[in-house]
Amino acid sequence: MEQKSSKKNSESEKEYSVIIKNLSVTYRTEPALWNIDLNFPKGQMIAIVGPNGAGKSTLIKAVMGLVPITAGKVSIFGKTYSKNRDKVAYVPQRGSVDWDFPTDALDVVEMGLYGKLGWFRRPNSKTRNLAKECLDKVGLSNYADRQIGQLSGGQQQRVFLARALAQDAQIYLMDEPLNGVDVITEKTILSILENLKKEGKTIVMVHHELQTVDKYFDWVVMVNRNLIANGPIKEVFTKINLDRTYQEKQRMSI
């Protein structure tokens, strides 16, 4: 395992937005993630790569407590997730919701603000306008009142991104937002993320296409139940590490 030279604790909190220590997640007795130590540096585009079933989605879900953690700790800017949940925005896989749901694009974006509103408080003209702005940023202001099932796959993905933008977070956790989208969507998403990065925000993306990792990202996390490598692309995105990440699985499944 490669780690950057260790820093003093106080410094590391300034430098890292997410600190994961000894994280293990098991589904029943099946380990999905095993003893992971990992930090996400601020202001970086971070790719999580690994074979199918390697625990990539589980890793970002574990950060938000969406899956129960078997052991270990996750801290977001030095606090637990439940104390800092407004600092994290999540873009789930497109298939995770029912697109036949009776709602439109603008409404879905506005749902990103429900957490900030808290219990019982209703969406208002302010949240509506904010949602409109975010929908505009992803180039979908003309589709605001379109039922979400009538959007293309790429447009649906952009609606999800707009929803995350509405959350105005410091950390964006995204589960394969570029999977199977059109060129315009890919460009839109990347340029928005580039801007977020410039504002010092942390972007963590589960990513499938290995060819584009060094083009789009600054930092890579290579995972296959265990953490294989974690660091700047130039240092750790090597053939040896790739082989270790993608062969481990085959050996296990034999």
Partner 1 sequence: MEISSDLIIIGTAILVAANCASIGVFLVLRKMAMMSDAISHSVLLGIVIAVFAVGGREPVAVIVGGVLSGILTISLVELLYRSGKLKQDSSIGIIFPFLFAIGVILVTQAGNVHIDVQHVLYGSIEFAPFDTLYLDELNIGSKSIWVLGILAIANVSFIVILYKELKISTFDKSLALSAGLMPLLVHYLLMIMVATTAVVAFESVGAILVIAFFIVPASAAFLLTDRLSRMLVLSVSLGIISAVMGYLFAIFADVSISGSMATITGIIFGLVWIFGPNRGLISRWRRISKQRFEVDLGIVLTHIHKELGSDRQVSTSSMSNSLGWTKEYSKKLSEFIQEQKFVEKNAQGNFALTDIGLKKVENYSN
Q: Does 64 bind partner 1 (CB under 8 A)?
A: yes
82 binds partner 1 (CB under 8 A): yes
123 binds partner 1 (CB under 8 A): yes
Q: Which is nearer to partner 1, 162 or 242 (CB)?
A: 162
Nearest to 200 by CA among 234, 175, 172, 222: 172
SS3 of the chain: helix, strand, coil, percent, to 5: 45, 25, 30
For 11, list phi and psi in degrees, rounded to 5. -70, -40
Restricting to residues 130-169, name those near partner 1 by CB under 8 A.
Answer: 147, 163
Give the nearest distance from C-beta 169 to partner 1 in angstroms.
Answer: 10
Identify which of residues 84 and 226 has a Cβ nearer to partner 1 in the complex: 84
With binding defined as CB under 8 A, does residue 253 bind partner 1? no
**188-203 residues labelled b (16+ CB within 10 A) or e (exposed):** bbbebbeebbeeebbb
Residue whose CB is less far from partner 1, 5 or 96:
96
Taking alpha carbons only, the member of 162, 126, 124, 169 closest to residue 144 is 162
When asked if residue 190 is in the footprint of partner 1 (CB under 8 A), the reply is no
CA distance 251 to 235: 25
Determine whether 56 is exposed, middle or buried from the number of CB atoms within 10 Å of its CB (0-12, 13-18, 19+).
buried
Q: How far is CA 58 from CA 11, 19, 62, 159, 204, in A?
A: 28, 16, 6, 23, 13
- Told to check if 172 binds partner 1 by CB under 8 A, we report no
Total of chain residues touching partner 1, rule CB under 8 A: 30
* 60 belongs to the binding site for partner 1 (CB under 8 A): no
Binding segment for partner 1 among 10-18, 69-77, 88-96, 133-141 (CB under 8 A)? 88-96
What is the pattern of x (binds partner 1, CB under 8 A) and - over residues 92-121? Answer: x---xxx--xxxx---x--xx-xx-xxxxx
> Which residues would be at the binding site for partner 1 (CB under 8 A)?
61, 64-66, 82, 85, 88, 90, 92, 96-98, 101-104, 108, 111-112, 114-115, 117-123, 147, 163
